[in-house]
Structure 1
Amino acid sequence: MIVALVVICEIGFWVLLAAGLAVRYLLKMPRTGAALLLCEPLLEVVLLVATAIDLKNGADPSWKHGLAAVYIGYTVGHGHRTIKWLDGHAAHRFGGAPPPHKPPRHGMARAGHEARIWLGTLVAAGVATALLQIAIWYVGDAGQTESLRSWMYAAWRTAGIHGLIALSYAIWPKKAAAKEPESEPVRAER
């Protein structure tokens, strides 16, 4: 049930996002579209409540509950950025707004961009860890909660790997390609 609910929440995320952007820009109803976009966090609340109820009803903690916690953490850490990015593209494509800014491609500006994305991963790992720890305390039996602990380690391993990748942009910044000097037009001699 929990895995199906995670899948439903993911599908619901994209359906609500598409509906919110369509209402906002195609139907020219920005407030209604914004209201639909603000319903996105309700999906995570539904998943959180369903997971808690499942554990309360005596389900053994398993990888499914860990997956739900990591999904909620990811949505908290990266959901806003994803929505903002897609909103910028929809505003440009359908609302006449200027094109959204592209992330920097070179140097320390790119390293800063990657670091900000990594902070979202840290938030995701922190939220997932908090939810998993609460579930572990709730269940109380250390023997039954090993799968939840393994999800904690996985979340922090992922954050560590992502951090190393982000750090690599600062240590070895990509250099902009050297622009070729513009040649002057050749003049015909008379």
Structure 2
Amino acid sequence: MNGIAWGIIVCEIMFWVFILAGLIVRYGWRKQRLGLRLMAMSPVIDLVLLVLTVYDLRQGTEATWAHGVAAIYIGVSLAFGKSLIAWADQTYQRFILRKDVVRDVRSKAQREREGFVRHLTAFIIGSVLLAGMIFWIADFKQTEALLQTVQIWFLVLLVDGLIAVSYTIFPKRAD
């Protein structure tokens, strides 16, 4: 596994460390602002990963799947970050604090459509980052894996879109 792959793993771990620390500080120590600041560190982690990825490519490293996944990670983190934090907050309240949390009353179709819009946003962010890396490096041979990442991710996005549409056309029956 190369350095960027390890960087992605470390950034993912740090994302959840900051979220958990923020929740503990927010509810355990009752420091709302400090807890929110800790949770808001996730974009900083994304920036660190972006800098590491670009630095690695600028050193002449041939792009690999890990460089592409770094861009995906950043796009997903930015597009889904707020909803992931809200999910973590509700889960913490429900299981750690034993509070009754208001359940999501939206339909499965609506949640799938919203998830698809977030996925599309992540795709746009990640693809812009990948395109920026490709053009900045300006060596197709070195960045071929980045273009392949966009192509594969686009297929995944299409499948996600079809699933979201299927729940709208064929709504899930209430039990």
Same fold flag (TM > 0.5)? yes
Give the structure 1 partner of residue 55 of structure 2.
53
Contact 2:79 2:122 in 1 (8 A): yes
- Residues 90-99 or 23-32, more deviating: 90-99
2:124 to 105, 112, 126: 126
Give the structure 2 partner of residue 13 of structure 1.
15
> Identity of aligned pairs, percent?
34
Work out whether 1:138 is the aligned partner of 2:136.
yes
Residue 128 of structure 1 aligns to which amino acid in structure 2? Answer: G
Q: TM-score, normalised by structure 2?
A: 0.91
Residue 28 of structure 1 aligns to which amino acid in structure 2? Answer: R
Q: Distance in 1 between matches of 2:102 and 2:43?
A: 24
Residue 129 of structure 2 aligns to which amino acid in structure 1? Answer: L
Offset at 1:89? Answer: 2.9
Residue 130 of structure 1 aligns to which amino acid in structure 2? Answer: V
Residue 48 of structure 1 aligns to which amino acid in structure 2? Answer: L
Flag the 1:28–1:96 CA change in 2: closer, same or farther, 3 A: farther
Residue 7 of structure 1 aligns to which amino acid in structure 2? Answer: I
Q: Secondary structure at the match of 1:173?
A: coil
Aligned alpha-carbon RMSD (Å): 1.6
Contact 2:15 2:42 in 1 (8 A): yes
Q: Which has the higher helix share?
A: 2
Aligned counterparts, 1:1-150, within 5 A: 1-93=3-95, 98-104=100-106, 109-150=107-148
Q: Secondary structure at the match of 2:149?
A: helix
- Name the count of aligned residue pairs: 173
Q: TM-score, normalised by structure 1?
A: 0.85
CA-to-aligned-CA distance 1:105-163 (integer Å, 9 cap, x gap):
xxxx3211110011111011111110110011011122222111010012111111111
Q: Which runs of 5+ in 2 are unaligned?
A: none
Q: Greater Rg, structure 1 or structure 2?
A: 1
Q: Distance in 2 between matches of 1:14 and 1:101?
A: 23
Residue 37 of structure 2 aligns to which amino acid in structure 1? Answer: A
Contact 1:26 1:94 in 2 (8 A): no
Q: Distance in 1 between matches of 2:105 and 2:147?
A: 35
Contact 1:20 1:34 in 2 (8 A): yes
Give the structure 2 partner of residue 164 of structure 1.
162
Offset at 1:94? Answer: 5.3
Residue 61 of structure 2 aligns to which amino acid in structure 1? Answer: A
Contact 1:103 1:110 in 2 (8 A): no
Contact 1:25 1:90 in 2 (8 A): no
Offset at 1:101? Answer: 2.1
Residue 82 of structure 2 aligns to which amino acid in structure 1? Answer: H
Q: Distance in 2 between matches of 1:103 and 1:22?
A: 27
